[in-house]
Amino acid sequence: MTEQIAGLFIGLPKEAVTLLLAMLPVTELRGSIPWATFALDMPWYQAYLWSIIGNFLPVPIILKFLRKAEHILSRWEFFELFFQWLYSRTQRRGRVIEKYRALGLIMFVAIPLPITGAWTGSVAAHIFGIKFWRALICIAAGICVAGIVVTLACQGFIGVWDLSMKF
């Protein structure tokens, strides 16, 4: 999927491609770091930096305007159903946030798995009533940790392929 999305950014500098991939909810840095490292042949530290920046950029916007967007868009049934689906899915996945609040939000965003990134973390912060600045700091910390994990995996320091080579 990352390959198809990256194809939309042909002709842009590799830093811009990495930043844009990291901004998108379907790829975030879990897709941008491997893409920058392997497809764009970017050094790991640049891939990490541009991905962290790109993944963080939507967060303050989501945190600030999700409530307003929900209020305006929920007038239409399609969006009302979408927000119900989004919130119920996020609530089911956000038990760790509900239990541990700020620390749970960091852990939730830091786990580099689908449906646990900065976008969903921002929605979860809204649902669980975590204040703007606390949510912003926790999500930023989670993004940095997730970036480290994905970067290490791309460098071969962790991962299934690393374990299989030892046998």
Give the pLDDT confidence of 10-41 residue by residue, as tens digits. 899 999 999 999 999 999 999 999 999 999 99
pLDDT higher than 50, residue 108: yes
Helix axes 118-127, 58-73, angle to 10 degrees: 50
The pLDDT assigned to 158 comes to 59
pLDDT of residue 159: 54
Q: Residue 93, exposed/middle/buried by CB under 10 A (0-12, 13-18, 19+)?
A: middle
**Tokens standing for 139?**
């999500």
* Pairwise CA distance, residues 47 & 55, whole Å: 12
Lowest mean pLDDT among 31-45, 111-125, 152-166: 152-166
Which residue has better confidence, 161 or 68?
68
Report d(CA 134, CA 33) in Å as an integer. 26
> Which residue carries 């960091």 as its tokens?
106
How confident is residue 140, by pLDDT bands cut at 50, 70 and 90?
Answer: very high
Q: What is the mean pLDDT of residues 101-117?
A: 91
Contact predicate 88/124, CB 8 Å:
no
CA–CA dist 80, 126 (Å, integer): 16
Looking at every residue in the chain, the average pLDDT score rounds to 90
Mean local confidence (pLDDT), 54-74: 95
155 close to 42: Cβ distance less than 8 angstroms: no
Segment 88-111 shows an average pLDDT of 88
Rounded to two decimals, the pTM is 0.86
Which whole number is the average pLDDT over 87-116? 87
Listed residue (50, 24, 26) closest to 37, CA to CA: 50
Domain ranges of the chain: 2-56, 59-151
pLDDT at 166: 43
Predicted confidence at residue 15, as pLDDT, reads 97
- Measured distance CA(70)–CA(62) in Å, rounded: 11
Distance in angstroms (rounded) separating the CA atoms of residues 135 and 142: 10
